[in-house]
A and B are shown apart, each in its own frame.
Chain A
C-alpha cells in the first residue's frame, strides 16, 4: 500500500499474561476498540511502527504528486488541467495531514524529510513508474487511488487517534480522485478513437501489476503483520485487500472494454472471487529498494524542491521573527 512492509520490531506476539501491567492495560484498551491518543502511554514498538507507517504514507502522498505533475502542463483540455491541479493539491494536503499525525508521536517534520531525502525512509513502490501518456494519468486515478481507498477505508478505524482522524479526512477526498481517473478513461475507451483506446490498453498493461504490488507481499506468516493487527494499526491482511481490489476492478475494466494483462485471471465460482496470476515480487523488492524505473529521478526532484525552497522558508521565518521583535520592542517602549 502507501505504506508497504512496515516492521514492528516484534519477534513474536506476546499474550496478555506475559505483559507488564502498563502494556496489558494498553492492549486491553486497544482490544476494547478505544483510541490511543498522543499523550497516552504506549509500547515503544507501537510508537516506532506508527512513525514508520505514517511517515511512509505521508512521503507517498508527497512523492505521488510527481508522476501526475508531469501532465499538468500537458493535459488535453483546460478542464482536465484544472481537475488534475485540484487532485495534485489534495495529495499535498493528504501528505500534510499525515506528517502532522506522525509529529504527535515525537518525530519532527525536518527529521522525517531528512529520512526521505537520504533514502532511509521509503515511499510506495508505485510512484517509481513513469507516466508516459495521458492515459497513465487516468490509470493512476482509477487503479492507484482505487487501491489506496481500499487500504485507507479500514485505516479510519486504526487504534491511533490522530492517524485515524487524518484518514477520515483523506477518505472523504479520495473518491473524487478515483472517479476523475475513471471518467477520463471512459472518454478515451468508449468515446475516443481506436488509437486512444489502444493508449489506454497500453497504460493498463503497464500499471496493472504495479498496482497489485501496492498492497505489499503476502503477509500470512509475517509476525509484523500479526503484531500490527494485534495493535489494531492494521485491520486486514495484504492479500485480503488485494483480492477485494481485483474483484472490484475487473468488472470496471470490462466496462471500459480493456483487457486485464493477466492470462490466469478467471472468475472462481466456488470462491466468489477472481483467481489471478503470480505477482513478480522480485520486481517489487527491486523497486522498493531503490532500483525502479524512476526512483533516482523522484528523489532528486524532491531534494531539489526542498533545497530550492530553502530561501523562501528562511525568508518568511526571518520576516516573522523581525515582526515579532518589533512588536515586543513597541511594547517595551509603551511601558
Chain B
C-alpha cells in the first residue's frame, strides 16, 4: 500500500459562539483538503461555522504520568474558588 495520508485533528466552533472544540480526527493530504474532508465528516448537520485543522503530529500533549505534578498544586489553593469566602447574607448578592 502507498503512503498513508497524514492525520489531522479537527476543531469546530459551533453556531452559538464559544470556542473551537475538538471533534475528532481524519486523514487528508494537506490542510486545504483536511478542511474539505472535515466539512463532510464533522458538519453534515450544520454543527459549526468555523473549522480548524491541525496536523496531529504538531500537537504537544501532557503525559498522563505528569498528572500529579501538573495539577496537584491547584488542589491546595481552594481560596481561588469564590465559595471559599463567607459573605454575610446582610450584604446582599455578590
Contacts and interface: CB of A to CB of B under 8 A. Distances in A.
Given A316-B33, A320-B33, A97 B5 contact: no
B78 interface: no
A97 B24 contact: yes
B70 interface: no
Contact of B41 (A96, A110, A324): A96
Contact of A310 (B2, B23, B40): B2
Nearest to B25: A100
A93 B40 CA distance: 8
Interface string A67-92: 00000000000000000001001100
Given A39-B64, A109-B4, A166 B33 contact: no
B64 A317 contact: no
Contacts of B29: 313, 316-317, 319-320
Contacts of A323: 30
Contacts, number: 56
Interface residues of B, number: 21
Chain A binding surface, main DSSP class: helix
A108 B1 CA distance: 12
Contacts of A41: 64
A197 to B, nearest CB: 33
Nearest to A323: B30
Interface string A164-175: 011001000100
A23 interface: no
A173 B42 CA distance: 11
Interface of B: 1-5, 7, 23-27, 29-30, 33, 40-41, 44-45, 61, 63-64
28 contacts: A39-B61, A39-B63, A39-B64, A89-B40, A89-B44, A93-B41, A93-B44, A96-B41, A97-B41, A108-B4, A109-B4, A110-B1, A110-B4, A114-B1, A166-B24, A169-B23, A169-B24, A310-B2, A313-B2, A313-B5, A316-B5, A316-B29, A316-B30, A316-B33, A320-B29, A320-B33, A323-B30, A324-B30
